[in-house]
Amino acid sequence: MRVAIVTESFLPSLNGVTTSVCHVAEHLRARGHEGVIIAPRSREPMPATFAGIPVHRITSLPFRQFDVGLPSGEIEQILADAAPDVVHVASPFIIGARGLRAAVRLDLPTVAIFQTDMAGYVRQHTPGSAGNATANTTWRWIRRIHSWADLTLAPSTEALADLRAHGVPRTDLWGRGVDTTLFSPAWRSDALSRALRRELAPGGERLIGYVGRLAPEKELERLAELADVPHSRLVIVGDGPSRPAVGELLTEAVAASPGRPNLPPVFLGPRHGEDLARAYATLDLFVHTGTRETFGQTIQEAGASGLPVVVPRAGGPIDLVTDGENGYLFDPRTPGALREAVCRSLSSPEHLTELGRRGLERVRDRSWAAFVDRLIGHYEAVADRRVAVAA
């Protein structure tokens, strides 16, 4: 099978969309399939191929920290030349929309991957009643885009319900895998991991960590609730536009805690590959704060690292955490609920270890290879339906 992947984001930019596309491309090649990747041109050095698959770059413009591809005729020409059996469109919004329209004109089967809650982000960033109006407009655009696809795949049951509630047709569920070879409790015995642990917790502090983008939609201000959790320290891994504000907020919250304050929060910056795996391995507990996640890949990575997790009872994380089994779900509408869930997790070393053990068991069979095999099944079903209709 020949697959064309049209993606809103790709290397060197690192985020959930890029990570998913990379794993899909790698495992497609491992299964003997061919393809092309169509992605925005970057201001930084860019690979011409990935996993043996050619990468075609289209014209883009910088916007904040992103390179946003322009929906030009380049996309249709690349698709026409590639003549794929199916077009995979990752998180379509701008160039993905153009990619879907081009595929329709070329009569190519399409699978769209819903991955980003753009309507939720718009509502969050637009104050007052205008936020709801703008979010409704965004949903109309999302519905229109996905109506051009033969199939739209959602990463979680909550995301799937949202799509269906807003009238998006032809939907199904497709989750995400996790690299259990890279993310593993075995990193705790690594010399560099142990050295990092000694540096971060010189007095044996319990390390409560967040991994991900530092941006308003991640709602990291919630971590201020944890400033006075006894004998703990906040560890933040990642970067983004909210770094200065979050740093100031959390540092002040810890310093203002009554009694003898905890050590100040530490920001490790962005980490990748083995350095990221080591960062997870130094933690005692993983906390996620965003309420608009369609999935929650870092939650799976934490689980594969043997960590218990505390996440909001909202969005994609609901599929990944069973309250009291591999961590806790907190009510994001209730002040203090996050702190209560964290303290419950840390109630004893034995309880913390048991939560982590169950989390690891939960992700053991969630390999990327298994999930890409399911995706290939969706590709084949869409292509077969097209052939049946044509006949």
Average pLDDT over residues 352-375: 96
- Extents of the domains making up the chain: 2-177+367-390, 185-363
Contact (Cβ atoms closer than 8 angstroms) between residue 211 and residue 299: no
DSSP state of 264: P
Confidence of residue 242 (pLDDT cuts 50, 70, 90): very high
- Which fold would CATH assign to domain 2-177+367-390? Rossmann fold (3.40.50)
For position 65, what pLDDT does the model report?
Answer: 66
Distance of CA 365 to the CA centre of its chain: 19
Residue holding tokens 């303290």? 343
* Measured CA distances, 189 to 14, 51, 55, 282, 324 (Å): 28, 31, 38, 10, 27
pLDDT tens figures, 120-142: 888 877 878 888 899 999 999 99
Task: State the average pLDDT for the chain.
Answer: 95
Instruction: Write out the H or E segment, with its range, that includes residue 309.
Output: strand 309-312
User: Cα–Cα distance between 334 and 314 in angstroms, integer?
Assistant: 13
Three-state DSSP at 285 gives strand
pLDDT tens figures, 189-220: 999 999 999 999 999 999 999 999 999 999 99
For position 391, what pLDDT does the model report?
Answer: 61
Tokens at 145, concatenated: 């885009």
pLDDT tens figures, 267-302: 999 999 999 999 999 999 999 999 999 999 999 999
Instruction: Write out the H or E segment, with its range, that includes residue 172.
Output: strand 171-173
User: Cα–Cα distance between 96 and 346 in angstroms, integer?
Assistant: 44
Same fold for the pair 2-177+367-390 and 185-363: yes
Contact (Cβ atoms closer than 8 angstroms) between residue 320 and residue 177: no
Classify domain 185-363 by CATH architecture. 3-Layer(aba) Sandwich (3.40)
